[in-house]
Structure 1
């Protein structure tokens, strides 16, 4: 039971870190043009 006092705050911190990373990626335009990037690797230059 004592381990829950450690695991619950760690899991909350992990979830917040994941959400912060996702927010950062969206805010900085990482998902702006997903279709073009998928086609770029198929085109021969």
Structure 2
């Protein structure tokens, strides 16, 4: 897994989610779970 690429994707996804965090908190939480899973692979 390319860590730099993963970091860029994560930052982009988090930035998008922060914009609509009030209505999509579950998506933000899901994103963190996905990131932890990818890092642990």
Is the TM-score greater than 0.5? no
Q: TM-score, normalised by structure 2?
A: 0.44
Higher Rg of the two aligned structures: 1
Q: TM-score, normalised by structure 1?
A: 0.41
Q: Which has the higher helix share?
A: 2
Q: Bigger relative contact order, structure 1 or 2, given CA contacts below 8 A and separation 6+?
A: 2
